[in-house]
Structure 1
């Protein structure tokens, strides 16, 4: 891009001051004005499309003129002292709000000189530069450089601005000293620093609010490659690294293109934030996308998503190449080893795999996949040789458009998938080398694609690879304690490769504008046929892609204790084999979306749905749909449990006469027994509040037994909100004797884990006190919304329908603190009764479902629906409403 012409004002004429006099206040004002004029000119040029790197260089040049002027004014023309730029300033780059890092090298300390230095740095601060400075002599520099690799690294970038040239030679002698951080030690310390830095950012470039500078694949990674090149190969830049064989020209171009993107984003971010912000926070993402010209294509390809995809693609390229180049440096330092044959086409040199024939990949493209298969069979292999990686990249670049249609490549890819769980690591490595996108072009389209919400914390490609890794965990015996059912299913899968293919394709159509499940099904069908799979296998993979969300949504949004729900789900699944594959894919998908999404409640929900559906699919009969039979079965099992605890059978039966039939239809026998025991122990005292810290559903279970009254649901949810509990599910039942038997399944809001015994006891005591004051109005607590949630607030959508003689309300809205308590309060104000609630939160998006009646237990009239709608609108904001 051509640099827009920038006219900078001249420096003011200032007399050279003696060290004691410094820079006059008038001159300081002039310098402040000059610096402001420079920054405004650069801002205008950036808005007009000037290149960010050129502008950062121009700002560095302008600041250098000012710094040199102030140094000269304060110290004059001195010997035995010099001023050096370090950090980004040393590299000749200053972004709009970057720090100006300086190193003053001086000879013997003299009080007058030290005062002049203090005056110099104070003046620079006063005129508006954020100066970071150090004052040292050469012996101190040498000692610190030996002790601290960070200090040594800073000297690699040191650039003399003004002062005694002899100081520059002294600094160069330190940097060139082979005894200070020899190459092997320097590589080790830089890799350790990289790993520690990446660990602070979850070891991935795909964070929702990534750090442009220090995150994986950020600008610091590119700086580190140049530092390694200088120290290990005397190559000062990427061009010289190409000459040394550490980079090929295509890799250099990729790094430079990615660096240009990251610098452009960083320049824009500094301007947007008005400070040295390095994180692409939600606060700025939309504004930055608009500033840089990204526009919404459709609702599934927003401008902000395109903007972030540009970042993720650049950072991913930098991170991948950074790892590979670091491996090449390591290989360069390793002593040569004797070759050992690995099959016909490959040879092993120590920990690295190489091709026998340099032209193998061009002559036999399937070897691009076979190399990764060979690597799996060789314990201790850590990578490919530098030359083999170069040949691999060159071949994939030339053959890119043909690999996905080459029968031999596809046959090798299928052989890899048929290795099962071990194939996943090979797929990760193939992706790092760009081969996965070459074989699956559709996968390349979702490379770096983000979804602008808090639910999907990874880009589509990163999520897909994590889902594959989760699938591979089911083959590990050590994972049986976390996934007992999944680990039992995995060995029974007739063809695990079909699950791997479904995982690869399940989100491959994201961002195209239609239903990604339907579009992905078409892609899976086409690829399965190109792969040569039997038609029934291709159909199974395509079905899994089409319905990969079905099990999750059924479990979380519907009542899976209802046989009709299970039977409908079983009808869609159709066969036990499909159920096994779908169950594994569902778990892997949930955990791969965000580690925070998986908890004991979801584990139990999916396990229950799997077990009940398997019963339907493996029997000639459906689940018992006769309500009387189900009630009798539940009562009999609960009675047996209570008798084991010593409770009188007649007392239990008398109590159960006051239980609604739906208690035995909707609760497990263990829950009925627990509730019954609590009531019998209370001997008629109410309110009764009982808390089970960890119930059969992987949650904390709360049971409330109290004379029924309107507003009870609102009172309970208000207290739960105050105590920071999240409601996963609620059963609101009324007995024929006028008692409420309400059950809430809870998780801690912060950790999404069941409560500790101490927290359970606190909940019990606090709620008991609250319910002992029936006339008291319990208002939800008021808490501020998190910074993240503020950026994802949307108008709620409310829909009414009729289900089994009750009104069903579906609420889809943005999450916020105290949401459920506010909804419950609104329902009380509108005069409706809640009988059932299922609560699901997906990042910032809430999808809640309520079954309700009026206060005469009749479905809501149109008038009452309108009243409830407007009441909720007052609490939640504008809504979209529809009736079924």
Structure 2
């Protein structure tokens, strides 16, 4: 038997050794004892974890416990004196073993020796699996180790941290020599390959750690980043010990301390995640976030949930790992390629290998030089980045950098010049990532890394804010018109674009304080703007925008913007054209910056329609609101012009108008009504007609028009078919036409953007379904998605008499696939007729409003009395709180 490594104890507490070759039954008994021993040890480690034991010690001691089992199993299965050596590799080789981590082993042996003992090795690995250890193993010769490392750099990184379990010092050195830079992956090639690997891995996570369900191991700023830096240091410098890099001039003591602190914090999160998941899980999924926050001792405080505090801590951990990692990568690059001759830019700054650097070793001598750095950076266009030395001294200077309240007028003007200068959004983003913006505006630091435990906000508040600013910057580009209908047209009218940037910067800055974040943020914005020297009019505009930044979105999505009264009320609050221009742009940027899936063609058109209608109302004058009769007359005239352009004469147009509901001319758009009228042209009375058209090219959003004789269950049937087509309804307008007909219009988007529907296919499926018996059309049964199970919203149902013979039903509940189809089915079962519907979804939260009437025994419609309201409420609650229909 080969000697154990120094200080290694190969005895297994609680397990009786058998020196003879054991039979299968004896192996099973031995494995059961070992499994029990490991379970007791893990229970002890879990208790110590909960008692806040030092994480590195836990990881090392758990690795030592497993070492003892592996070594004892080796002694049990492998005869003494054979030419086999055993190494721990990968994370296990580092001596870091998490509760659910793999046990990666390498058996080092020449081919003839490993072949001779194949049965012994097979018995060993089977025994370890029976012990409950998730073993991954490789059996290789030295030559095979070299070749495998050449072919796959991940093999090399695993072998770089090989630790002897049953091997002597000579064998350890032989293995090191087999994968030395002389034979495989010299430092330059290794660095370039691992840097590319890191960048590609980050790209898989959208280059941000601020995901709702981040990966603690592989995600940007995660533990794999720290390990990659260690591997690079080992290959390039010859040491994987971060503290040793201080002596080599690669890192400062403060950087090492920060990186080690963040690594330990990430390690603790990962250890706890393995405990609460009870399986190998690296992604901090919603299933485990609350459990882990509780286990780590977080508690709800004020307006901040425990889980939000834990996640904010993670996002800040990851951002610091990324920040220091960028510096160290740059230093490794310089170590390999050498420093180039500096290229002076001005008296303060120079370029070093394409990186912006301060010339003065004592920079910054005052805070103004920090703002000068960002001004120079913006003026130079594309650079490789900030030089690592300058980034480090900037970080060291941050504690003494003043906030805006304590700064003097000169700094205020420097900051405003940055906002008015070149690439202001890129500058603000750089300031945020380097920690300067959080020092300058302390309220921004409070929301940095702050997540909101819902499905509506998919970014942290600071990352959402930066995304909003990026959207605002895009409005100057003509290509933005493809995504935002009017933004490029409105943008040039802004007299001071920096005011919109300030509104975007402050609109969510008060999140998490409790109270109304719009009101609190508006107060913050006023203090900031007045302090830095903006005039009263400019300050008032920024303050108003922050206070009212949700107004346009709520109005458009929850009210009927085809109603002149709604437009008049909205225009009255807005007050003037300048506010409208700014609010429209801020709203578009805010919605699009909340979630990649939230902005769509329907919302694009909705915001543009509200903007256009409000602009006309302001031009007309708020003292001259449009009367309903005047609005209808204007719409009819516009539709007549569109139909005449299609070649229809006055008699034909009049005949078509007689078949259309009067309410349509009050609430519809002219081009939409002309499209519907065209569907009636040459259509026999009583026949069903379905028309579907794309709302915008390549988005998958559709407008669906259905004209038919009315009958019970028609609305529910249409909704069910659209649901089966994989479409989500954003808005439904249900109008009663002459002679018992219906004119229903639906705005729909695909549930899966990867499979946009074909308009003709949707029209065909609807037509076929509606030509048959409606009773056969039922909602599709679906399993609720995993992520929605963690965002239960208590259903709220309300009724209101709108005074026109109808009742408004408002519904707030947890969203789910097929929700609207289920609700429509309940309305059908309760003999309700739907006259209008507005569907709004905010992450996991559905907020739907319906105008309905009850049908009496004679088929007449009437508002819901108290009994009918109670019956409908009971049925809806049973559906929403139980299984889908």
Same structural fold, with TM-score higher than 0.5 when normalized by the shorter chain: yes
Q: What's 1:3 paired with?
A: none
User: 1:534 — aligned with what?
Assistant: 535
CA distance in 2, matches of 1:719, 1:816: 17
Contact 1:417/1:497 (CA < 8 Å) preserved in 2?
Answer: yes
Q: Structure 2 stretches of 5 or more lacking a match?
A: 1-10
- Correspondence for 2:393: 391
In the TM superposition, residue 750 of structure 1 has moved relative to its aligned partner by 1.8
Question: Is structure 2 residue 32 aligned with structure 1 residue 33?
Answer: no
Q: How does 1:600-749 map to 2 (within 5 A)?
A: 600-620=601-621, 625-694=626-695, 699-749=701-751
Q: Say yes or no: does 1:165 pair with 2:169.
A: yes
Assess, with a 3 A threshold, how the Cα gap between structure 1 residues 485 and 694 changes in structure 2: closer, same or farther: closer
Does residue 590 in structure 1 map to residue 594 in structure 2? no
In the TM superposition, what is the alpha-carbon distance from 1:640 to its structure 2 partner?
2.5
1:867 offset after TM fit, Å?
Answer: 2.5
Aligned to 2:7: none
Does structure 2 retain, via aligned residues, the 8 Å contact 1:286–1:304?
Answer: yes
Of 304, 321, 324, which residue of structure 2 is paired with 1:318? 321
For 1:560 and 1:463, locate their aligned partners in 2 and report how far apart those are by CA, in whole Å.
28
Supply the distance in 2 between the matched residues of 1:599 and 1:809 (Cα, whole angstroms).
26
Query: Does the 8 A contact of 1:17 with 1:74 survive in 2?
Result: no
> Does residue 88 of the first structure (1) align with residue 74 of the second (2)?
no
Supply the distance in 2 between the matched residues of 1:639 and 1:332 (Cα, whole angstroms). Answer: 75
Q: What is the aligned counterpart of 1:127 among 126, 131, 135?
A: 131
Residue 233 (structure 2) aligns with: 229
Instruction: Indicate conservation of the 8 Å contact 1:615/1:623, yes or no.
Output: no
Q: What is the aligned partner in structure 2 of residue 113 from structure 1?
A: 117
1:516-527 equivalences under 5 Å are 516-527=517-528
Q: Which segment drifts farther, 602-611 or 522-531?
A: 522-531
The answer on whether the counterparts of 1:829 and 1:871 sit within 8 Å (CA) in structure 2 is no
The answer as to whether partners of 2:717 and 2:774 remain within 8 angstroms in 1 is: no
Equivalent position SS for 1:596: coil
C-alpha distance in structure 2 between counterparts of 1:754 and 1:579, whole Å: 33
C-alpha displacement of 1:731: 1.5
Q: Hey, what does 1:854 align to over in structure 2?
A: 854
Q: Is the 8 A contact 1:81 1:164 kept in 2?
A: no
Deviations 1:418-463 (A, max 9, x none): 126x121122222221111111111111111111111111111111
Q: For residue 803 of structure 1, what is the aligned residue in structure 2?
A: 802
Q: Distance in 2 between matches of 1:88 and 1:604?
A: 53
1:837-869 C-alpha deviation (Å, 9 max, x unpaired): 111111111111112233344433333322322
2:762 matches 1:763: yes
Of residues 373-382 and 444-453 in structure 1, the stretch that sits farther from structure 2 once superposed is: 373-382
Conserved 8 A contact 1:187-1:228: yes
1:190 aligns with 2:194: yes
Give the aligned partner of residue 292 of structure 2: 288
Matched-pair contact (CA < 8 Å) for 2:601–2:695: no
The 1-side partners of 2:715 and 2:155 are apart by 62
The counterpart of 1:279, out of the listed 247, 262, 283, is 283
Aligned counterparts of 1:604 and 1:660: Cα–Cα separation in 2: 24
Name stretches of at least 5 consecutive residues in structure 1 with no aligned partner: 1-7, 879-884
Confirm whether residue 208 of structure 1 aligns to residue 207 of structure 2: no
CA 1:101–1:385: 2 relative to 1, 3 Å: same
Q: 1:464, 1:504 within 8 Å by CA — same for their partners in 2?
A: yes
Contact 1:21 1:74 in 2 (8 A): no
Single out whichever of 646-655 and 715-724 deviates more from structure 2: 646-655
Q: 1:484 & 1:674 partners in 2: Cα distance?
A: 21
Structure 2: distance between partners of 1:821 and 1:402: 53
The aligned counterpart of 1:372 is 374
* Residues 644 and 480 (structure 1), Cα distance of their counterparts in 2 relative to 1, 3 Å cut: closer
Aligned: 1:141 with 2:145: yes
Structure 1 position 126, deviation (Å): 1.6
The residue that corresponds to 1:778 in the other structure is: 777
Contact kept? 2:355, 2:384, Cα under 8 Å: yes
CA distance in 2, matches of 1:401, 1:738: 68
After TM superposition, give the deviation of residue 816 of structure 1 in Å: 1.3
The verdict on how the C-alpha distance between 1:233 and 1:812 changes in structure 2, with shifts beyond 3 A counting, is same
Separation in 1, partners of 2:400, 2:144: 53
- The whole-number CA distance in structure 1 between the counterparts of 2:154 and 2:628 is 73
Cα deviation for residue 831 of structure 1 reads 3.1
User: Hey, what's the Cα distance between the residues in 2 that align with 1:819 and 1:524?
Assistant: 40
Partner of 1:65: 68
- 1:710 and 1:828 in contact (8 A); partners too: yes
In structure 2, the residue matched to 1:543 is 544
SS of match in other structure, 1:742: strand
Task: Give the match's secondary structure for 2:682.
Answer: helix
Q: 1:251 to 1:535 in 2, by over 3 A?
A: farther
Distance 1:686 1:203 in 2: 54
Deviations 1:46-87 (A, max 9, x none): 223323322111110111111112222222443643111111
Q: 1:783, 1:817 within 8 Å by CA — same for their partners in 2?
A: yes
Q: Distance in 2 between matches of 1:650 and 1:402?
A: 70
Is 1:339 matched with 2:342?
yes
The whole-number CA distance in structure 1 between the counterparts of 2:223 and 2:700 is 44
Task: Identify the residue that residue 834 of structure 2 maps to in structure 1.
Answer: 834
Distance 1:775 1:439 in 2: 63
Larger mean CA deviation between 686-695 and 228-237 belongs to 686-695
- Count of residues paired in the alignment: 865
2:569 aligns with 568
Cα RMSD after superposing both structures: 2.4
Tell me the equivalent position of 2:178.
174
User: Given the superposition, is the C-alpha separation of residues 554 and 704 from structure 1 closer, same or farther in structure 2, using an over 3 Å criterion?
Assistant: same
Give the Cα–Cα distance (whole angstroms) in 1 for the partners of residues 179 and 647 of structure 2: 82
- Counterparts in 2 of 1:534 and 1:693: CA distance versus 1, 3 Å: closer
Shift of the 864–447 alpha-carbon distance from structure 1 to 2, 3 Å rule, reads: same
Shift of 1:178: 4.1
Change (3 A) 1:556 1:651: same
Match of residue 872 from structure 1: 876
Cα distance, 1:306 vs structure 2: 1.4
Using the size of structure 2 for normalisation, the TM-score is: 0.93
| DSSP-derived class of the 1:828 partner | helix
* 1:194/1:622 CA distance change after superposition, 3 Å: farther
Q: What per-residue deviation string (whole Å, max 9, x for no partner) do you get for residues 786-805 of structure 1?
A: 11112112211122223352
Distance 1:707 1:18, change over 3 A: closer
Distance 1:579 1:269 in 2: 48
> What is the alpha-carbon distance in structure 2 between the residues aligned to residue 144 and residue 11 of structure 1?
39
1:382 corresponds to which residue?
384
Q: What is the distance in 2 between the residues matched to 1:114 and 1:622?
A: 93
Post-superposition Cα deviations, 1:210-266, rounded to whole Å, max 9, x if no partner, equal 111111111111111111111122232221122223222222222222212211111
Task: Identify if the C-alpha distance between structure 1 residues 160 and 204 changes in structure 2 by more than 3 Å, giving closer, same or farther.
Answer: same
Offset from partner CA, 1:364-408 (integer Å, 9 cap, x none): 112112112111222442122222122111111343668963544
Cα contact 2:28–2:130 (8 A) shared by 1: no
Deviates more, 1:21-30 or 1:596-605: 21-30
SS in 1 for 2:267: helix
Equivalent position SS for 2:586:
helix
Q: In structure 2, how many angstroms separate the alpha carbons of the residues matched to 1:390 and 1:770?
A: 67
Contact in 2 for aligned 1:99/1:131 (Cα 8 Å): yes
Distance in 1 between residues matched to 2:605 and 2:140, nearest whole Å: 64
Distance 2:73 2:210 in 1: 43
Between the aligned partners of 1:685 and 1:764, the Cα distance in structure 2 is 18
Aligned to 1:4: none
Task: Report the Cα offset of residue 779 of structure 1.
Answer: 2.6
Partners of 2:701 and 2:802 in 1: how far apart? Answer: 27
